[in-house]
Amino acid sequence: MIRVSPKINMQMNLIEIYQRGNEGYDPFLIREGWQVARLTYLPAQDMLGIKKMDRHLLTDELFILLGGNAVLIAAVEQNNNFQFEFAKMQPGIPYNIPARQWHNIAMDRDAELIIVEKDQTHLGDYEYKPLNQDQMNKINNHIAALNQ
């Protein structure tokens, strides 16, 4: 995202306005303690192409769908296997994933989300765990059923 100063006759510049910037994951507003990012389609987030789960150890992660189609996936790991929970996201509704919770988000090419989390999360507070073929099939089957 980029910060844009309005062209209207404003002298104080009290309102910061941001317009679309980079595609994919783009943290555009970082303040002490928190940050806001925009997420658009990435091949790793494809609706039927989720191959891993990730988690943040130090922050909750709040997702808000602005438009398009997205499914939030959360999971609990038990005996080296995942038990999944799915939410077909609705625009404007905040969805929170607590710290340490495995998750991912599947999205169509036209999906756009806002993410709120602790600052600097994107610089190292994450772990990834690859999914096996059975787990990927379970996710794909569930997402396909949600999107019918």
List the beta bridge partners of residue 97. 61
- Which pLDDT score, from 0 to 100, does residue 124 have? 82
Domains of the chain by residue range: 24-146
- Average pLDDT for 95-115: 96
- Pick 24-146's CATH classification: 1.20.1440.230, 2.60.120.10, 2.60.40.10, 3.40.50.300: 2.60.120.10
Residue 57's closest CA among 101, 25, 114, 122? 101
Q: Which residue has the higher pLDDT, 6 or 147?
A: 147
On whether the CB atoms of residues 41 and 109 are closer than 8 A, the answer is yes
Give the pLDDT band of residue 82 (cuts 50, 70, 90).
very high
Residue 92: pLDDT over 70: yes
